[in-house]
Structure 1
C-alpha cells in the first residue's frame, strides 16, 4: 500500500512539474510575443516618425523655395521695373511742364520710349522665369531642348540630350516641376560642380518616366548629409515627391554627378 501511495505521489509530482513547466513555457511565450510585438510597434512608430519628419522637411523646403522665389521676383520688380518706371515718370513730368525746346522735347520723348521698351523687356523676362512660354505653348520636350540649347549657345556648359517624351504625358503642373528640376540640375552643374559637359536622357518605359542626368563636374561626397540636403537638392527632392517619383544619386569627389529619377504618373495622367 505504501508503495502504491509512493508511486501515486510520484505521478502527482510529475504531473505538477509538467503543468508548472507548461505554465512557465506559456508565460515565456506570452512574454516573447509581448516584447516582439512591442519591438514591432516601436519600429513602426519610428518609421512613421521618420516619414512625418521627411514630409515636414519637404514641406519646409517647398515653403523656403517659394519664399526665395518671391524674394527674387520682388528684387527683379524693384531693380528692373521700378527704376525704369521712375525714369519714365520723371521724363513724363518734364513733358508736362512744357518748358522744353524742340531738341529737348525730342530727347526726353526718346528717353521715355527707350525706358518703356526696356521695361517691357524686363517684364517679359520675369514672366518667362515664372512660366516659360514655350513650355505652355509647345510642351515639355521643346522647353527642355530650348533650355539646353540656350546653355550650349552661352558656352557655359555643353549639354547632350536625348528626349523621348510622349506629348502631354504629365499634366502641365507636373511638367513645370520636371522642367524646374532640369533647370536646378544644370545650374548646380555650372555654379557648384564646375562642369563643362552634361547629359540629359528622358524616356518612357512600362508606364514610367525615366529621367537621367549626369555631369563631369568636381562631384562631392554623398556620405556627407549636408551635401545631399542643400537647398538645391531639397528643392529637387520636394518636386520629385510632388511628382510621385523616386530618385537615386551618385557622386564622388572628382568624378562628377549623376541622378536617376523614376516618375510614376498619377491616375489622372495615365492613358
Structure 2
C-alpha cells in the first residue's frame, strides 16, 4: 500500500514536471515569436523610413536640379546679355562715361560667377560624367580661391573610374559639401583635410578639420539640421561612419561604403 502511494506521488511529481516543462517551452517559444515579430516590425519600420527619406531626398534633388538649371540658363543668360549691352555701351561713350559704367560691368561679372557657382552647387554638372572625386576637386578649388580656409584633397584610389552609383555619389557630394559648410560656419578652422582611399571593395573617405571641435555627447543628444542631413544621407546609401571630436581638438569623420 505504501509503495503504491510513493509510486502515485512519483508519477504525480513527474506529471507536474512534464506539465511545467511543456508550459515553459511554450512560453519561451511564444516569447521568441513575439521577439521575432517585434524585430521584423522594427526592420520594416526602419526600411519604410529609409524609403520615405530616399523619396524626400530624391524630390529635393529634382528640385535642386531644376532651380540650378533655371539659374544657369535664365538668370545667367540674362546677366550675360546685360554684360554684352554694357560692353557695347562702353565702346560708344567717352572715357568719363566708361568710368561710370565700369563698376556696373564688374558687378555683373561677379554676379555671373556667383550664379554659376550656386547653380553648380545645386546641380553639380560633372558628377555624372567625371565622378565624385573630380567634382569634389572642382568644389574645393572654388573654396580655396576665396582664401578663407585651406582645403587639402588627396587620394589613394586604385582607379579613376566611377566607384559608386550616381545616387550614392550625389549623396556623398552633399555630405562633403555640408561638412565643409559646417566647418566654415562653426569650427573656426584654418585647414581641412579630405582623403579618399580605396581598399578592394570599399571606399573610405576621411574628413578632418583643425577647428575648435565640440563635445561628442552634445552631438549624440542633439544634432543640428546640418548633421542630421549628413547622417541621414550616409545611412540612406547603407554606408557607415565614425566621428571623433572633442573640445579644442578638431573634428573628424570617416565614411565607409561598399564599391559596386
User: TM-score, normalised on structure 2?
Assistant: 0.70
2:9 is the counterpart of 1:13: yes
C-alpha distance in 2, partners of 1:136/1:44? 37
Report the 3-state secondary structure (helix = DSSP H, G, I; strand = E; otherwise coil) of the residue aligned with 1:190.
helix
Alignment partner, residue 155 of structure 1: 147
Choose which of 162, 169, 181 in structure 1 pairs with 2:163: 169
> Displacement, 1:190?
0.8
> Displacement, 1:9?
3.7
TM-aligned CA distance change 1:250 to 1:234, over 3 Å: same
> Displacement, 1:207?
0.9
TM-aligned CA distance change 1:223 to 1:71, over 3 Å: farther
C-alpha distance in 1, partners of 2:65/2:47? 27
Alignment partner, residue 213 of structure 1: 207
TM-aligned CA distance change 1:24 to 1:66, over 3 Å: same
C-alpha distance in 1, partners of 2:109/2:8? 108
2:123 is the counterpart of 1:131: yes
Alignment partner, residue 181 of structure 2: 187
C-alpha distance in 2, partners of 1:225/1:120? 38
Q: Name structure 1 gaps, 5 residues minimum.
A: 92-101
- Asked if the contact 1:222–1:228 (Cα under 8 Å) also holds between the matched residues in 2, the reply is no
C-alpha distance in 1, partners of 2:59/2:128? 25
> Displacement, 1:252?
1.5
- Asked if the contact 1:247–1:262 (Cα under 8 Å) also holds between the matched residues in 2, the reply is yes
- Asked if the contact 2:50–2:236 (Cα under 8 Å) also holds between the matched residues in 1, the reply is no
> Displacement, 1:23?
1.8
Q: Name structure 2 gaps, 5 residues minimum.
A: 86-91
Alignment partner, residue 88 of structure 2: none
Pick the structure with greater CA Rg: 1
- Asked if the contact 2:156–2:197 (Cα under 8 Å) also holds between the matched residues in 1, the reply is yes
User: TM-score, normalised on structure 1?
Assistant: 0.68
- Asked if the contact 1:65–1:235 (Cα under 8 Å) also holds between the matched residues in 2, the reply is no
> Displacement, 1:183?
1.5
Give me the CA root mean square deviation: 4.3
Number of residue equivalences: 242
Choose which of 158, 172, 190 in structure 2 pairs with 1:178: 172
Alignment partner, residue 96 of structure 1: none
Alignment partner, residue 89 of structure 2: none
> Displacement, 1:118?
7.3
